[in-house]
Amino acid sequence: MHKIIQNYRWLIFDADNTLFDYDKAEKLALLKTLDDYDICYPQDSIIDTYHKINHKLWMQFETGEIKSQAEIKQKRTSQLFKVLKVKRDILQFADDYLINLSLNGQLLDNALRVIKTLAKTKKMVIMTNGMTAVQKPRFKASPISQYFQHIIISEEIRHSKPSTKIFDHAFELMRQPDKSEVIMIGDNLGSDIQGGINYHIDTIWYNPNKHQVRHNATYEICNLLEFIEA
């Protein structure tokens, strides 16, 4: 086990693009929904276009500019339709996309192996800002879920990262461990890392693409296997 987590009793993991391959799930779900609605789209750019729309809206949600995940769901679909110059039932398309997304729970490479190993000596929590209708089916179907003591979905408790309130909830579930015994692990500097910093716990930024940006995370890793390698 890597020395950076040896002294932590509780590990709080983000879900999407930390353990679960959200980019792959997003692509498969979007293309299926577009095809189901007989919508023509540029194959070489549609994923990037949607990703940029979705990412910007989630960033606005994290900063409080957007107040609900329902607003994200509606706006990202309407903005996509505007780019594609199509008219369909926005809410129905959005709902069907979420159904397709919920059916895609692919894990990142080595995620299951790493979590199974960590579970032998650590207690773990999943903390996600994802939508309940998407995350619950994915987690239920995934072999990784059994290794976590608690799974926290922001929409269920009406608080999301980086708010300290979602961490309050996590610490209640963990029966108030000392903050020095807990570390937050995630790929998002805005929600995961800043959330941990706001709560005065250590953080690990999972940076598989090796982005060269300044950050305030306690540690940085590029490969999940680093958690179980000395």
What one-character-per-residue DSSP string does 61-82 give? HHHTSS--HHHHHHHHHHHHHH
Asked if 29 and 104 touch (Cβ cutoff 8 Å), the reply is yes
Give yes or no for residue 1 having a pLDDT over 80: no
Q: What is the pTM of this model?
A: 0.91
Fold of 23-102: DNA polymerase; domain 1 (1.10.150)
Q: Which residue has the higher pLDDT, 229 or 57?
A: 57
What pLDDT shows up at residue 222?
96
Residue 2: the pLDDT is 72
pLDDT tens digit sequence for 188-209: 999 999 999 999 999 999 999 9
What is the mean predicted confidence (pLDDT) over 114-119?
Answer: 97
Residue among 188, 214, 213, 225 nearest 203 (CA): 188
The pLDDT, as a whole number, for residue 30 is 97
Spell out the residues 6+ positions from residue 161 whose beta carbon is closer than 8 angstroms to its own: 14, 62, 127, 129, 154, 188, 191, 192, 195
Confidence of residue 67 (pLDDT cuts 50, 70, 90): confident
26 Cβ contact partners less than 8 Å away, ≥ 6 residues apart: 47, 50, 51, 54, 101
pLDDT, position 210: 95
The answer on pLDDT for 122 being more than 90 is: yes
Separation of alpha carbons 125 and 170, rounded Å: 8
Amino acid in the structure at residue 129: N
In the chain, CATH 3.40.50.1000 covers 3-21+107-227
Those residues whose C-beta lies under 8 Å from the C-beta of residue 128, and which sit 6 or more positions away, are 14, 15, 16, 135, 151, 152, 153, 154
Task: State how far the Cα of 185 lies from the Cα of 178, in Å rounded to an integer.
Answer: 17
Question: Which fold would CATH assign to domain 3-21+107-227?
Answer: Rossmann fold (3.40.50)
Share of the chain above pLDDT 90, in %: 91
The boundaries of every CATH 1.10.150.240 domain in the chain are: 23-102
